[in-house]
């Protein structure tokens, strides 16, 4: 089953570049880890209008999505609190019907 974790970080004032650099480095480390079973890709984005607001998305394909998130995602959420306000949410891909 395909699912996604979204970890949003609103960085503290003046810490946007440091937060962005950290997210990019973490995404590289995660993608290079050979034990990332089921992880398809990691994407880091910045908000179009809100300075210092970032999102890291982890795309998974596993037997069962974990409602609380992956161990990787939970650890990221905890660690990223040092950079600002963090929101961690889990999204499950829905099945598309005919004609979609």
Structure confidence at residue 45 (pLDDT): 98
- CA 26, 46, 21, 28: dihedral to nearest 10 degrees? 30
Phi/psi class of residue 40: alpha, beta or left (left: φ > 0; alpha: ψ in -120 to 50)? alpha
Structure confidence at residue 65 (pLDDT): 85
CA-closest candidate to residue 66, choices 97, 89, 36: 89
Q: Do 45 and 54 meet the contact criterion of CB atoms below 8 Å apart?
A: yes
| Low-confidence winner among 35-39, 78-82, 86-90 (lowest mean pLDDT) | 35-39
Give the CATH number of domain 2-92; options: 3.40.50.920, 3.60.15.10, 3.40.50.720, 3.30.70.100.
3.30.70.100
Q: What are the domain boundaries of the chain? A: 2-92
Q: Do 1 and 65 meet the contact criterion of CB atoms below 8 Å apart?
A: yes
Structure confidence at residue 26 (pLDDT): 96
Question: Hey, how many other C-beta atoms are within 10 angstroms of the C-beta on 71?
Answer: 9
Q: Is 60 exceeded by the pLDDT of residue 100?
A: no
9-61: pLDDT as tens digits: 999 889 999 999 999 999 999 998 877 889 999 999 999 999 999 999 999 99
């Amino acid at each position: 089953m395909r699912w996604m974790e979204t970890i949003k970080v609103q960085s503290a004032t003046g810490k946007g570049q440091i937060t962005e650099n950290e997210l990019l480095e973490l995404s590289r480390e995660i993608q290079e880890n050979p034990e990332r079973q089921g992880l398809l890709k990691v994407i880091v984005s910045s908000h179009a209008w809100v300075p210092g607001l970032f999102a890291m998305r982890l795309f998974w394909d596993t037997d069962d999505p974990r409602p609380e998130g992956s161990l990787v995602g939970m650890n990221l959420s905890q660690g990223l609190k040092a950079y600002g306000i963090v929101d961690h949410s889990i999204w499950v891909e829905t099945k598309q019907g005919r004609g979609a």
